């Protein structure tokens, strides 16, 4: 992998990742762009104990452009895009309309008892263009190209971990208009948050409570072992990864991919696990596109990498000044990197909407039994996998 960093016309960074070591990236962004004005603020919700970002500038972001005006396609001829090069393998650039931007700043606490707390929304948001091919999808990538994207996610996680104020890095892909995607070019995003996300904080609490009541056992390890022992919700396995529908899945079709060897984040993956990942992940994505039948459009989905926050201490250490509490016994090594993939399509032509119970009380109601979802995802395995011709995967 060759990495080349450059600047766009308004000063934002763009980074090219190439499969070939002899790739040359020296194109200049010729667009007459002025400096983008961004102002991100985060406000604290004392009832839920979580932060919310307020970003008025994002109202102006690009919305469903025609294919010949896609800002993620390469620059060709007189068309000038966000990517100055005429072609690329993978390109990453700073989002022009970021939810988080800049460095950390002081917290202001207004109102009685300081209940109205706010501070700058420090961090960084990046766009990851998986391929220059506008008509492609992640599922259509070769295993070599998918491995390149995995290496990009890994490199960006390591790079963003060094940014001042960043506590957690989230790599994800939104795919499909039903999900809310406004650019159809195959791409994902990376958020570098200035706090530990509420979802992760809740998981960390569950980790600590499970360890406390089981004499120090790891919750992630025990969940994976339980799913493997049950077997009914396993979708696919490889030497280093397991794909399964969770026992209490929230979404109609939801698959979690866990490395068999627990690691806290992408940079900690072994070379063997990296090499093993693309075949199984691509197979699962292709099954998602077949699960509702051949006449259905591509399945909308969200693919989300869950990684440990950087503020967690290493085993046996606690950051200076940290308050004692439930998470005190949780180290970075206790968290398990994993990918969660799910769709909001519940059956042919029908979507699952987050209505009163889900949106109002965060209580999910799933119309598709997880065992049936896993069974269906096994039924639509590729012919190559049925004949044992897909390297690195096994079928139950």
Are 268 and 360 in the same domain? yes
Within-domain flag for 395: no
Are 175 and 238 in the same domain? no
Are 63 and 40 in the same domain? yes
> What mean pLDDT comes out for the span 18-45?
89
The CATH code of the domain that includes 307 is: 3.30.428.10
pLDDT at 324: 46
Residue where a domain stops, chosen among 153, 177, 193? 193
Within-domain flag for 275: yes
Confidence of residue 39 (pLDDT cuts 50, 70, 90): confident
Within-domain flag for 62: yes
Are 71 and 49 in the same domain? yes
pLDDT at 64: 55
Taking the alpha carbons of 158, 161, 163, 169 in that order, is the dihedral positive or negative?
positive
User: Do the annotations mark residue 70 as ligand-binding?
Assistant: yes
Active site residues: 187
Are 188 and 211 in the same domain? no
Do 255 and 235 meet the contact criterion of CB atoms below 8 Å apart? yes
Are 37 and 61 in the same domain? yes
User: Do the annotations mark residue 125 as ligand-binding?
Assistant: no
Report the distance separating Cα 314 and Cα 320, nearest Å. 13
pLDDT tens profile 265-276? 999 999 999 999
Do 95 and 125 meet the contact criterion of CB atoms below 8 Å apart? yes
Give the predicted TM-score (pTM) of the model: 0.91
Are 186 and 331 in the same domain? no
Within-domain flag for 394: no
Residue where a domain stops, chosen among 193, 209, 231? 193
pLDDT tens profile 150-200? 999 999 999 999 999 999 999 999 999 898 888 999 999 999 999 999 999
Are 378 and 269 in the same domain? yes
- Which of helix, strand or coil describes residue 216? coil
Quote the domain boundaries for residue 36: 2-193
Confidence of residue 80 (pLDDT cuts 50, 70, 90): very high
Q: Phi/psi of residue 99, each to 5°?
A: -80, -25
> What mean pLDDT comes out for the span 39-58?
86
Within-domain flag for 230: yes
Within-domain flag for 392: no
Taking the alpha carbons of 48, 53, 56, 62 in that order, is the dihedral positive or negative?
negative
Within-domain flag for 396: no
Report the distance separating Cα 242 and Cα 227, nearest Å. 10
> What mean pLDDT comes out for the span 360-384?
91
Structural domains of the chain, count:
2
- Structure tokens belonging to residue 102: 């800049």
pLDDT at 327: 43
Q: Phi/psi of residue 285, each to 5°?
A: -60, -40
Report the distance separating Cα 128 and Cα 130, nearest Å. 6
Residue 396 has pLDDT above 80, yes or no: no
> What mean pLDDT comes out for the span 386-395?
53
pLDDT at 294: 86
Report the distance separating Cα 44 and Cα 119, nearest Å. 9
Q: Any idea what the Cα angle at residue 20 is, between residues 14 and 24, rounded to 5°?
A: 50
User: Do the annotations mark residue 73 as ligand-binding?
Assistant: yes
> Going by C-beta distance under 8 Å and a sequence separation of 6 or more, which residues neighbour residue 113?
none
Are 231 and 179 in the same domain? no
Are 314 and 356 in the same domain? yes
> What mean pLDDT comes out for the span 230-236?
98
Residue where a domain stops, chosen among 193, 209, 241? 193
pLDDT tens profile 296-306? 899 999 999 99
Within-domain flag for 206: yes
With a pLDDT cut of 90, the percent of the chain lying above it is 76
Are 238 and 354 in the same domain? yes
The helix (H) or strand (E) run that includes residue 372 is helix 370-379
Are 113 and 223 in the same domain? no
Confidence of residue 394 (pLDDT cuts 50, 70, 90): low
């Amino acid at each position: 992998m060759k990495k080349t960093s450059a600047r766009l016309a308004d000063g934002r960074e763009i980074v090219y990742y190439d499969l070939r070591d002899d790739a040359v990236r020296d194109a200049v962004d010729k667009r007459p762009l002025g400096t983008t004005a961004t102002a991100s603020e985060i406000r604290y919700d004392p009832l839920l104990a979580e932060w919310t970002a307020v970003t008025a500038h994002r109202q102006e972001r690009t919305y469903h452009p025609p294919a010949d005006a896609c800002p993620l396609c390469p620059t060709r001829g007189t068309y000038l895009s966000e990517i100055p090069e005429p072609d690329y393998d993978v390109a990453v650039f700073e989002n022009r309309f970021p939810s988080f931007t800049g460095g950390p700043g002081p917290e202001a606490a207004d109102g009685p008892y300081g209940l109205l707390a706010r501070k700058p929304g420090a961090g960084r948001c990046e766009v990851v263009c998986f391929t220059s091919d506008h008509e492609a999808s992640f599922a259509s990538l070769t295993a070599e190209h998918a491995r390149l994207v995995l290496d990009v996610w890994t490199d960006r996680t390591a790079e963003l971990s060094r940014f001042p104020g960043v506590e957690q890095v989230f790599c994800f892909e939104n795919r499909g208009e039903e999900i809310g995607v406004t650019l159809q070019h195959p791409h994902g995003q990376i958020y570098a948050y200035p706090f530990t996300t509420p979802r992760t904080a809740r998981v960390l609490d569950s980790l600590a409570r499970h360890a406390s009541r089981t004499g120090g056992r790891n919750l992630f390890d025990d969940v994976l072992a339980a799913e493997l022992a049950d077997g009914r919700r396993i979708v696919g396995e490889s030497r280093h990864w397991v794909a399964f529908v969770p026992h209490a899945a929230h979404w109609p079709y939801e698959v979690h991919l866990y490395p068999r060897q627990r690691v806290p984040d992408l940079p900690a993956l072994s070379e063997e696990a990296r090499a093993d990942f693309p075949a199984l992940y691509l197979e699962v994505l292709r099954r998602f596109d077949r699960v509702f039948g051949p006449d259905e459009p591509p399945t909308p989905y969200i693919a989300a990498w869950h990684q440990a926050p950087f503020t967690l201490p290493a085993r046996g250490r606690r950051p200076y000044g940290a308050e004692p509490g439930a998470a005190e016994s949780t180290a970075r090594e206790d968290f398990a990197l994993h990918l969660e993939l799910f769709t909001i399509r519940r059956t042919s032509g029908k979507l699952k909407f987050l209505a009163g119970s889900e949106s109002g009380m965060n209580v999910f109601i799933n119309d598709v039994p997880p065992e049936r979802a896993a069974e269906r995802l096994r039924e639509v395995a590729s012919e190559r996998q049925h004949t044992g011709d897909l390297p690195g995967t096994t079928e139950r």
